[in-house]
Chains A and B, each alone.
Chain A
């Protein structure tokens, strides 16, 4: 085992280990978890030559302040993130996302905040010394499953890093630029008919905003109350990421990675797969519009999304 590690001098608001997620456990109540922004998670791994499914550090809003101990590593940060590298000799460098850095022993990395977005990702070449639980490194703080015993990181914790192969660490860059777009595409949900025709109209034509009740489980919206004319409860049934549930108070809630595996509120719609990364990055106060698409359109949009992700990935081959 390597003796190289990050000492956490400041933990940040919600710093966890994430990966592609933990599947095949939904039927016993364990959410998929995984990185909220799957594209940025993959790009951070690619920039340091990792397998795309390697574990990364996910942080939200204010990130951690990390000090490297006993080693030299190659790392990258993705997202829209303000960070600094504090060298051992006290030199401070402004960090740039979507490129790799060599961090020397006793250097620090200070992830100050995400900018107009929620989540960012830190990858190190070789990955972290962690063990998979049910085939995933993801931290699931609801069931306390996965890395760091299923808990978010605290100050003074250590995150051990596998031995990096620094020989292959040439400079890499991706010219990624997030394009702000607050149109979220949705397929009608299985309970769309539960809502009055006026509310159906409002749902697709009016603006909603993201409230402060937003975390890895879901995002509660405000703006308009959606009127349910059939029943505000259904028999509890399975949920998926992106499902938009509407409880009795009429305010929609969008399910994200840590959502409960089943739910009993009617589903007015489901966000398409291609827009899940974006919806997770919307900060409280963001305005969004829902746009209806068909299943076929959603599948085509997903292909375009995947091609675009691959285009970025191929930039640093």
Chain B
């Protein structure tokens, strides 16, 4: 539930669902997102430009020529949250190749966690992850929570270019770089799976908030032949 609602500038509503990051709070954010998106799609409300869910916040930006903060705030507070919209979350299996040319940061991770590459991977691959949000760059999923023993800070100096497809971890989260991008996460492998596909106009993004994700390891040969 929304703990606090305020304005973010003159053209956005800022909904705070509480300070912690967990599945329950995030599912509440997602249900608000789904309910509001449905109203926008059905043209029942006007002037909403974007609805951006994150771990524990929902930001609704609007067109100040059409509506304003108090109107949108009222719509959000009056929302009839439909829990059923949440039931279509998928389970997705993602291949990842962790050979040395893709797993760029195992030395650093081993040093920080005192675990071998094999031990880190066992703990990482053993878990099913929840997708909290997608964004920053198109389609990038923010997954969690990874095992306590393999948690590690960001790189002190972020990479200027993280290769496309890189699978990274930092703190209690994991993500996939859907585009080559600057970034500071610890890279443990690379996936040949297309996560963002702009040619798929209806469903350009494979992993959505609320979905569950498992990683499984593949060889370099499989990696190279994956999209054949």
Listed in ascending order, the chain A residues whose CB lies under 8 Å from chain B are: 23-30, 32, 133-134, 142-145, 150, 187, 189-190, 235-240, 242-243, 260-263, 267, 270-273, 295, 298-299, 302, 306
Flag B1-27 by CB within 8 Å of A: 1 or 0 each: 000001111111010000101000000
- Say which residue of A23, A24, A145, A260 sits within 8 Å of B136 (CB atoms): A260
- Say which residue of B19, B59, B140, B179 sits within 8 Å of A238 (CB atoms): B59
Flag B49-68 by CB within 8 Å of A: 1 or 0 each: 11111111111010011001
Any A CB within 8 A of the CB of B39 = no
- Residues of chain A within 8 A (CB-CB) of B68 are 299
- Say which residue of A25, A243, A295 sits within 8 Å of B7 (CB atoms): A295
By the criterion CB–CB under 8 Å, are A235 and B134 in contact?
Answer: no
Report how many residues on chain B are interfacial, defined by Cβ distance under 8 Å. Answer: 47
Given A143-B198, A190-B8, A236-B55, the answer on whether A299 and B64 have CB atoms closer than 8 Å is: yes
- Residues of chain B within 8 A (CB-CB) of A302 are 10, 64
- Residues of chain A within 8 A (CB-CB) of B6 are 190
By the criterion CB–CB under 8 Å, are A142 and B9 in contact?
Answer: no
A26→B58 CA distance, assembly (Å): 12
By the criterion CB–CB under 8 Å, are B50 and A187 in contact?
Answer: no
What would 4 more interface pairs be, CB under 8 Å, given A29-B140, A150-B198, A187-B9?
A26-B50, A28-B196, A143-B138, A295-B10
A243→B136 CA distance, assembly (Å): 15
* A-B complex: 9 closest residue pairs judged by Cβ atoms: A270-B9, A238-B52, A238-B59, A26-B50, A143-B138, A298-B10, A29-B135, A261-B135, A237-B57
Any A CB within 8 A of the CB of B130 = no
- Residues of chain B within 8 A (CB-CB) of A133 are 198, 201
By the criterion CB–CB under 8 Å, are A29 and B138 in contact?
Answer: yes
- Residues of chain B within 8 A (CB-CB) of A27 are 33, 37, 50-53, 133-135, 209
A176→B9 CA distance, assembly (Å): 28
- Residue of chain B at shortest CB distance from A270: B9
A238→B33 CA distance, assembly (Å): 13
Flag B187-228 by CB within 8 Å of A: 1 or 0 each: 000000000101001001100110000000000000000000
Given A27-B51, A145-B198, A295-B69, the answer on whether A240 and B8 have CB atoms closer than 8 Å is: yes
Any A CB within 8 A of the CB of B137 = yes
A-B contact pairs, 5 of them (CB 8 A): A27-B134, A236-B54, A243-B9, A270-B10, A271-B9
A145→B57 CA distance, assembly (Å): 27
Any A CB within 8 A of the CB of B124 = no
- Residue of chain A at shortest CB distance from B33: A27
A134→B57 CA distance, assembly (Å): 25
By the criterion CB–CB under 8 Å, are A29 and B139 in contact?
Answer: yes
Any A CB within 8 A of the CB of B129 = no
- Say which residue of B8, B21, B64, B134 sits within 8 Å of A29 (CB atoms): B134
Any A CB within 8 A of the CB of B115 = no
Any A CB within 8 A of the CB of B142 = yes
- Residues of chain B within 8 A (CB-CB) of A235 are 19, 21, 54-57
- Residue of chain B at shortest CB distance from A300: B10
- Residues of chain B within 8 A (CB-CB) of A262 are 52, 54, 133, 135-136
A243→B55 CA distance, assembly (Å): 19
- Residue of chain B at shortest CB distance from A30: B138
A32→B49 CA distance, assembly (Å): 9
Any A CB within 8 A of the CB of B40 = yes
A241→B50 CA distance, assembly (Å): 11
By the criterion CB–CB under 8 Å, are B9 and A261 in contact?
Answer: no
- Residue of A24, A30, A260, A273 with highest tally of chain B CB at under 10 A: A30
- Residues of chain A within 8 A (CB-CB) of B134 are 27-29
- Say which residue of A24, A144, A243 sits within 8 Å of B8 (CB atoms): A243
